């Protein structure tokens, strides 16, 4: 990957790579964002299942909410755009916890944080880099994995992203959803989400949401709803066809060589040795 290719679509802010679709001006002004007490933030590292959770929330009957585009997507007009929404706002972001606007933290807005096994996340992000014109071109899996392990990818290090949430994992305004657990029992995860948001939903409605947000249904709908600018949940593309690839657990095994797995596991152990969240990820995998 040429550095010229990288610099045309990515830029660094506070040492972390961001897409050119997130203007430096906007990133610099995040702390001037006015949060509302009932705001909900969907926070995750890229390719961890944000769209999936967003679809679940959008399918909750009588929720009276508006799903917005990501807080870090666009320019300074973003805050004016967010002010226009009258209903309860659900705002997606790939910003790590310690980069969130201070008002979100001060007002203790609800945060749903989604975590996915980092090996699967890396594979998914590799394909995203290859298919998304808003990200740098990448030649090989080996080259990408090296960047991923260094945190030299969009939104920085997976390890740092998860660790930034670690000390807040038990805060009452935070709900942590593990992608793998959601795959195992989507109804249970939907129940957790609706309870957290304070919305009463019957078992029948939960089953209906589970069906509507199955991977195959979402993939079909992605084609129908594609390029609807009002339905941009990812700060890296509005093309929904790029978002849903396989949605499986454990696909990493088809990519990692035994040496790559060893290097990855050593770094994981070193970086995440005090992390309960990381232990949970290992249990889920």
Task: Compute the Cα dihedral for 84, 89, 92, 96 and give only its sign.
Answer: positive
Complete edge-to-edge strand list for the sheet that includes strand 88-93: 65-67, 88-93, 40-44, 110-115, 174-178
The residues that are catalytic are 94
Q: Is 123 in contact with 255 (CB distance < 8 Å)?
A: yes
Identify any residues that bridge with 113 across adjacent strands, giving them in sequence order. 43, 176
Torsion of CA 262, 135, 111, 85, to 10 degrees: -170
User: Taking the CB of residue 107, how many other CB atoms lie within 10 A of it?
Assistant: 15
């Amino acid at each position: 990957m040429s550095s010229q290719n990288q610099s045309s679509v990515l830029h660094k802010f506070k040492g972390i790579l961001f897409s050119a679709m997130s203007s430096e001006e906007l990133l610099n002004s995040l702390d001037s964002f006015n949060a509302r007490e009932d705001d909900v933030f969907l926070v995750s590292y890229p390719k961890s299942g944000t769209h999936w959770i967003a679809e679940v929330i959008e399918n909750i009957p009588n929720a009276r909410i508006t799903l917005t585009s990501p807080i870090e997507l666009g320019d300074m007009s973003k805050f004016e755009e967010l002010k226009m929404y009258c209903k309860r706002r659900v705002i997606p972001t790939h910003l790590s916890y310690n980069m969130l606007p201070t008002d979100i933290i001060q007002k203790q807005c609800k945060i749903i944080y989604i975590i996915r096994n980092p090996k699967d996340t890396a594979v998914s992000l590799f394909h995203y880099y290859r298919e998304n014109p808003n990200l740098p071109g990448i030649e090989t899996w080996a080259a990408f994995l090296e960047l991923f392990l260094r945190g030299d990818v969009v939104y920085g290090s997976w390890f740092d992203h998860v660790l930034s949430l670690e000390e807040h994992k038990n805060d009452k305004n935070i709900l942590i959803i593990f992608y793998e657990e959601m795959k195992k029992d989507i109804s249970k995860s939907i129940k957790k989400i609706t309870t957290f948001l304070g919305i009463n939903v019957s078992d029948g409605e939960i089953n209906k949401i589970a069906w509507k947000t199955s991977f195959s249904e979402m993939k079909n709908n992605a084609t129908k709803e594609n390029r609807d600018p009002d339905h941009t949940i990812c700060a890296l593309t509005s093309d929904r066809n790029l978002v849903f690839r396989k949605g499986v657990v454990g696909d990493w095994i088809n990519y990692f060589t035994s040496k790559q797995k060893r290097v990855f596991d050593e770094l994981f152990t070193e970086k995440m040795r005090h992390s309960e969240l990381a232990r949970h990820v290992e249990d889920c995998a």
